[in-house]
Chain A
Amino acid sequence: MTITPPADQDPVIYRHRELEQIAIASLGCARVLMETGSRVKVAQECCRLLAIGLDAEMSGIRVGYASIALTLGSGANTITRMVTVNRHGVDYRLNQAVRDLVVTASANGLQPAEITARLDATVAGSKRHPLWFVVVAVGLACAAFGGLLGIDPGAFGPVFLAGALGQFVRHRMLAGDINPYVATVATAFVASVTCGVGARVAGSGTVDVAMIAATLMLVPGVAATNAQADVLDGLPTLGSARAISVFMTMLFAATGIFVAQAVLGLHP
């Protein structure tokens, strides 16, 4: 909602400052949504809802892979602000919490400072599963992928252990701010070598398939479906950027597996 400026302040400058605060709050929410796995349309809708709730007009928005720019207007006043988007990941619970915050803020006309404060509290207080649980779950998922690919019974244990170890390595590398593609190739190598050795010891006849199954947690499924959704939504530029990132991730994962196969002498 528009607040009447104090008598000693220029109304144009005052409104500009108001719009700037609205833009910063909107971009903060949109950035978290993009970093936690949303499609572009969701980030756009977030900014539109907040602009409506705070009595501003969204004149334009450009959502890129690494930044978001937003132009807000109010009468003759307009302002454009931009925010950097960091590494794209998936965090469903945080994503939903931010969406709920946006809906509440829009419906109740929360002031920008309060939105920003609530966003910071939401990000800081977001719950995550403990690392050991994620590691075990990913190991089981990789073993299940192995089942879908037709590995023999002797390979299930090695795939589970290698998938879990790979997820642990990946988590530690990403937490240490290692480049995501470097983390991908290292994870793929560690998981597939471990799985290959384990499957051989277990006498498996499907070592090569098991080595691939142990790395399938690296497949960027959400990014792949978001890429297509963005293109279908009429946003081919970001959709293409996502598709390239999917291809690069798979290229690095395949490189890790290829090197692991060479180390174990599986190449013809």
Chain B
Amino acid sequence: MTPAIVHVLAQAAFGAIAAAGFGVLFNFGWKVLAWGSVSGAVALAARTIGLDLGWTLEGASLAASALVTTLAVVVLRRHLRISASAIAIAGCIPMIPGAFFAQALIGTFNLTTAHPVDPTGTLVTSAISGLRVIFTVFAIGAGISIPIHLLRGRDY
């Protein structure tokens, strides 16, 4: 296997484990937990392929979340009667850039210390991290919402 494929598989495995962990935290039953894990693997594999193709994080996240949600609506809700939005959200949560969010906030904390080191650089880095968080979260939200609306996959 090429290093690129190994990288995609590793990211997919991490995505599956992270989605399953959140699924347990959200009290998913066993069947939903298994599908949530698959959803996380597909989402992270799709995002990694997008990033490897040179897409932005936001664009790759949008494509990955839209793909996972579409699959969840078409396969799971229509054939297995499982909540598509729950599976899609579980799969997409590992893509939410919590680390960028923390880095952005910690950077702004560092700016307010008595003698900040390289305040201009810190401000720019924090601003970039903050903007990536906003755009990526909106991309993921749009990627989940748009297919559900278009495919009439909204479950009650």
Chain A residues near B (Cβ < 8 Å): 37, 41-42, 45-46, 49, 90-94, 96, 99, 102-103, 127-129, 133-134, 137-145, 147-149, 167, 209, 212-213, 215-219, 221-222, 224-225, 228-229, 232, 250-251, 253-255, 257-258, 261, 267-268
Look across to chain B and name the residue whose beta carbon is closest to the beta carbon of A253.
B102
Min CB–CB distance B13 → chain A (angstroms) = 8
Partner of B14, one of A144, A217, A219: A144
Partner of A268, one of B28, B89, B94, B117: B117
Contact with A along B103-145 (1 / 0, CB 8 A): 1011001100100010000000000000000000110111011
**B20 within 8 Å of A (CB atoms):** yes
A139 vs B96: C-alpha distance when bound (angstroms): 18
Mostly, the B contact residues are: helix
Interface centre among B26, B137, B141, B142, by most A CB within 10 Å? B26
Q: Number of A-B pairs whose CB atoms are under 8 Å?
A: 143
Given contacts A144-B94, A254-B109, 6 further A-B contacts (CB under 8 A): A96-B83, A134-B25, A144-B16, A219-B96, A221-B89, A255-B109
**B21 within 8 Å of A (CB atoms):** yes
Contact A251 B27 (CB under 8 A): no
Contact A216 B98 (CB under 8 A): yes
A85 vs B92: C-alpha distance when bound (angstroms): 27
Contact A228 B26 (CB under 8 A): no
Contact A250 B32 (CB under 8 A): no
Report chain A residues within 8 Å CB of B44: 148
Given A144-B18, A148-B18, residue A134 in contact with residue B24 (CB < 8 A):
yes
Contact B27 A219 (CB under 8 A): no
Given A225-B140, A257-B106, residue A209 in contact with residue B99 (CB < 8 A):
yes
